[in-house]
């Protein structure tokens, strides 16, 4: 397959590029280094240094003999995306190119506007480039489980059948994002669904939960090929932040009661899911939605798990409660379906003690680089 990966410098984009290249796909990655710029601006650098794309592609070529083509440019720029899609003629586009941080989107007006314009702008440019230059191309878009919020009913896989006043119909499942970032993902979904209806696009929208891990089959041979590891309050996930706090001897900062529950997955499972979606394209005129996670965990459970494993490894890990900087339910019902990708063949890997121990060990090797200023909450949803 000819696969175009937008956001190919990112945490998920780069490992996806390596995986597909090893499988024999013709792969091109596109990025404008937005994430690196925002990380620098907010003092949220990754724990391990991450070489720029051209250096990573040459390192990867040296170890695998495979090529990954690189284009640096802004995916909100329609003429740029048009040119890439027209010239490369992809069978599929994996669209990761968005501003992915909920706290960043809640910092202030500048950051909110940047998130809104960037995330909708990239999706809009992709849709139009596909309609004009590669109408049969399958768009695999990364959404988030956060689009659904935490409703007090079961969460279906994208769609819900509603009976009302004796009549029935099928709708996108009701969504309520907990941040502006999540709201941009909801708007993306609506935009895609509109153009699927009007222009018979092929779309798979993957409602992904928070991803953890840095170990993939391709990255493990050279740490410079590893996915980026952010641990700060803006770009890091809760799991990474706890791992770093555990190693740095800072009590793990559980926001509020810690009952916030989400669906998590290992980065290897993200790679499996994206590949499964690519190899079974959605039919033209279909908007296929999968809930992409493998296990439900609460913030409290993650903190306890990391503390248990860390203490067995000789660390001194404690938990503390801090005022929740977010507006979210801290104790809630959470029962999302996630059957579609299992039906396609997903073989889940879970957050075992061995996986936690391996991650703690990696962080320990880089503990000299930990910046303890960025592990406490710096962004509040509502300011006093």
Least distance between ligand NAD and beta carbon 328 (Å): 16
Nearest residue to 12 via CA among 206, 156, 281, 172: 206
**Would you say 233 and 376 are in contact if contact means Cβ atoms under 8 Å apart?**
yes
Instruction: Report the alpha-carbon distance of residue 277 to residue 60 in Å, rounded.
Output: 24
DSSP 252-292: EEEETTS--EEEEEEHHHHHHHHHHHHHSPPPTTEEEEEEE
Query: Is residue 181 among the annotated active site residues?
Result: yes
Report in angstroms how near the CB of residue 35 gets to ligand NAD at its nearest: 4
Residues that bind ligand NAD (CB under 6 A): 7, 9-13, 30-35, 74-76, 96-100, 118, 122, 142, 144, 208, 210-211, 237
Please tell me which residue in 16, 50, 76, 144 is annotated as part of the active site. Answer: 144
Catalytic one among 115, 150, 185, 212? 185
User: In this complex, which beta carbon is closest to ligand NAD, that of residue 179 or of residue 317?
Assistant: 179
Minimum CB distance to ligand NAD smaller for 181 or for 195: 181
What CA–CA distances, in Å, run from 141 to 7, 47, 122, 264?
A: 11, 28, 11, 18
Catalytic residue among 148, 173, 181, 231: 181
For residue 158, which of 296, 334, 340 has the smallest C-alpha distance? 340
CB of 74 to ligand NAD, least distance (A): 5
Closer CB to ligand NAD, 251 or 348, in the complex: 348
Residue nearest to ligand NAD (CB): 10
Least Å distance between CB 311 and ligand NAD?
26
Give DSSP secondary structure letters for 126-154.
Answer: HHHHHHHH-TTPEEEEEEEGGGT---SS-
Nearer to ligand NAD, 25 or 269 (CB): 269
Least distance in Å: CB of 334 to ligand NAD? Answer: 16
Nearer Cβ to ligand NAD, position 32 or 317?
32
Residue 354 C-beta: closest distance to ligand NAD, Å:
21
Which uninterrupted H or E stretch holds 6?
strand 2-6
Between CA 199 and CA 42 the distance in angstroms is 40
C-beta of 90 vs 317, nearer to ligand NAD: 90
Residues 6 or more apart in contact with residue 128 via CB below 8 angstroms: 78, 81, 82
Smallest separation, CB 93 to ligand NAD (Å):
13
Active site residue 333: no
Compute and round to an integer the Cα radius of gyration of the chain.
20
CB nearer to ligand NAD: pick between 7 and 336: 7
Active site residue 352: no
The strand ranges marked E within 145-201 are: 159-164, 167-172
Alpha carbon distance 21, 208 (integer Å) = 23
Residue 236 DSSP one-character state: S
Residues 290, 296, 298, 303: is their CA dihedral positive or negative? negative
Closest-CA residue to 132 (of 81, 93, 97):
81
Q: Which residues are catalytic?
A: 144, 181, 185
């Amino acid at each position: 397959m000819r696969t175009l990966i937008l956001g190919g410098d990112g945490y998920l984009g780069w490992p996806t590029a390596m995986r597909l290249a090893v499988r024999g796909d013709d792969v091109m990655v596109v990025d404008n280094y937005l994430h690196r710029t925002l990380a620098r601006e907010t003092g949220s650098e990754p724990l391990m240094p991450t070489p720029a794309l051209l250096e990573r592609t040459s390192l990867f070529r040296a170890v695998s003999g495979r090529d990954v083509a690189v284009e640096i440019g802004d995916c909100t720029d329609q003429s740029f995306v048009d040119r890439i899609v027209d010239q490369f003629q992809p069978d599929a586009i994996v669209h990761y190119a968005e501003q992915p941080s909920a706290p960043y989107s809640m910092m202030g007006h500048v950051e909110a506007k940047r998130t809104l314009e960037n995330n909708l702008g990239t999706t809009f440019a992709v849709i139009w480039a596909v309609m004009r230059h590669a109408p049969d191309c399958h768009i695999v878009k990364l959404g988030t489980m956060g689009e659904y919020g935490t409703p007090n009913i079961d969460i279906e896989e994208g769609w819900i059948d509603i009976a009302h006043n004796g009549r029935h119909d099928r709708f996108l499942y009701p969504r309520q994002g907990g941040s502006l970032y999540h709201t941009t993902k909801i708007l993306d979904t609506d935009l895609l669904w509109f153009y699927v209806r009007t222009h018979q696009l092929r779309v798979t929208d993957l409602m992904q939960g928070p991803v953890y891990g840095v170990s993939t089959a391709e990255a493990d041979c050279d740490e410079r090929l590893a996915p980026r590891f952010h641990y700060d309050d803006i770009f890091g996930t809760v799991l990474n932040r706890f791992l770093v706090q555990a190693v740095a001897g800072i009590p793990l900062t559980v926001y509020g009661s810690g009952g916030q529950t989400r669906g998590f997955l290992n980065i290897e499972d993200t790679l499996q899911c994206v590949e499964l979606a690519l190899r079974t394209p959605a039919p033209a005129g279909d908007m296929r939605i999968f809930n992409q996670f493998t296990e439900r965990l609460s913030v409290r459970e993650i903190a306890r798990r990391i503390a248990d494993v860390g203490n067995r490894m000789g660390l001194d890990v404690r938990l503390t409660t801090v005022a929740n900087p977010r507006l979210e339910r801290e104790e809630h019902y959470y029962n999302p379906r996630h059957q579609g990708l299992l039906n396609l063949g997903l073989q889940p890997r879970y957050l075992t003690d061995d996986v936690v121990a391996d991650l703690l060990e990696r962080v320990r090797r880089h503990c000299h680089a930990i910046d303890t200023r960025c592990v406490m909450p710096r962004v509040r949803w509502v300011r006093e």
